């Protein structure tokens, strides 16, 4: 069984991180730009892969991505805790990158 929850989540998160990077300045903005770049690349690879949605690691990655999206919330509003958002995104990226790398057979 495969679904596209991870692809949709990664693309959505990349878009939110992009918005957040424009709302912030300095190191935080640069960190968010790097994260957005990683998310975009991950989205492209995830689209090309066939992923088993019943896999526990897949579900974990989807949950982590969703948690990061929830933390950022509506990026149009003033973000109170950017450091927490960056940390959540980093965690989601780590989990998703490990999953995708493994599924790609590398």
Partner 1 sequence: MKNERRIAARVRFLVVLVVLGAMCAGCAGLPTGRFDTLAAASKGVETRTAQTDADVVKLTRRFMVFSPAPGPYRVDSFVPVVEVGATRLDFDFGPRLEPRQAALGVLAAYTDALAAFARKDYGGELDHATHSLGGSVQRLAGHVTASAAAKQGAGVLATAVNGLGHALTERMRRAALRKAMDDATPGIVAIVAFVKEINALGATAVTTMRDQVIRKANGLAVADGVARLRLNEAVEGMIGESNAILAQLKLESAAVDAIAPAHAEIRDAIDRDERAVLDKLKTLVAEVKRLQGVYSSLK
**Residues at the interface with partner 1 (CB under 8 A):** 1-2, 4, 7-8, 11, 14-15, 18, 33, 36-38, 40-45, 47-48, 50, 97, 100-101, 104, 106
CB-wise, 33 or 60, nearer to partner 1? 33
Minimum gap (Å) between residue 11 Cβ and partner 1: 5
Determine what percent of the chain falls in helix, strand and coil, rounding each to the nearest 5.
Answer: 75, 0, 25
Q: Minimum CB separation from partner 1 for residue 48, in Å?
A: 4
Of 45 and 82, the one with the shorter C-beta distance to partner 1 is 45
Answer positive or negative: Cα dihedral of 28, 13, 60, 67. Answer: positive
Cα→Cα distances 28→1, 3, 95, Å: 38, 33, 21
For partner 1, give the closer residue by CB, 82 or 95. 95
Total residues belonging to the chain: 106
């Amino acid at each position: 069984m495969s679904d596209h929850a991870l692809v949709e989540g990664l693309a959505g998160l990349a878009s939110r991180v992009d918005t957040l990077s424009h709302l912030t300045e300095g190191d935080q903005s640069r960190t968010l730009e790097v994260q957005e770049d990683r998310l975009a690349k991950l989205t492209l690879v995830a689209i090309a892969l066939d992923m088993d949605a019943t896999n526990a690691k897949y579900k974990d990655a989807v949950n982590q991505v969703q948690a990061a999206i929830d933390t950022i919330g509506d990026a149009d509003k003033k973000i109170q805790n950017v450091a927490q958002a960056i940390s959540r995104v980093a965690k989601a990226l780590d989990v998703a990158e490990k999953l995708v790398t493994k599924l790609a057979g590398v």
